[in-house]
């Protein structure tokens, strides 16, 4: 098992009853904006993360579908956990931007997911593909989040 702190915490929570739910609440408290979508982190591993957004009134728009900004929030959360669980110890990351295409109506619960090859972790701009799928597996949003990857400086 990895010695990564995110993976250690996630794996500890997973052993508890309602562990994924408890971890998701814990994570949303550390980044309070994520609480707005009531996310459920369903999978974290090196270079892979999935976050479930249940369809409920607070995340729907005027036509009754999940609002794309709520989906973008879930995609950013999935990317962030994937990055924290995966980045080599000598590197650091910061998001630079996000581009998304709305490919279908989000009429059901949505899974926001990100999975990348490990070799992408290099200094410079890193394009992280992200997608959100509905309950039938259809892609409703696809896009990319650009990360700026740099070497960590020497500690003073």
* Cα–Cα distance measured from residue 29 to residue 19, given in angstroms and rounded to the nearest whole number: 15
5-151, what's its fold?
A: Thiol Ester Dehydrase; Chain A (3.10.129)
Q: Give per-10-residue mean pLDDT for the chain (156 aa).
A: 79 91 86 85 96 95 96 96 94 96 96 97 97 97 98 76
What is the reported pTM?
0.91
User: What's the confidence (pLDDT) of residue 155?
Assistant: 66
What are the sequence ranges of the domains in the chain? 5-151
């Amino acid at each position: 098992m990895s010695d990564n702190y995110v993976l250690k915490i996630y794996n500890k929570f997973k052993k508890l009853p309602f562990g994924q739910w408890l971890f998701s609440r814990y994570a949303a408290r550390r980044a309070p904006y994520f609480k707005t979508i009531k996310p459920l982190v369903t999978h974290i591993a090196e270079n892979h993360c999935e976050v479930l957004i249940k369809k409920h009134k607070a995340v729907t728009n005027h036509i009754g579908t999940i609002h794309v900004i709520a989906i973008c929030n879930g995609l950013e959360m999935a990317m962030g956990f994937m990055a924290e669980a995966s980045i080599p110890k000598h590197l650091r990351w910061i998001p630079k931007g996000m581009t998304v295409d709305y490919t279908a109506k989000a009429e059901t619960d949505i899974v926001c997911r990100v999975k990348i090859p490990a070799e992408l972790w290099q200094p410079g701009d890193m394009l992280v593909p992200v997608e959100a799928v509905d309950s039938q597996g259809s892609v409703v949003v696809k896009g990319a989040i650009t990360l700026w990857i740099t070497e960590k400086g020497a500690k003073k």
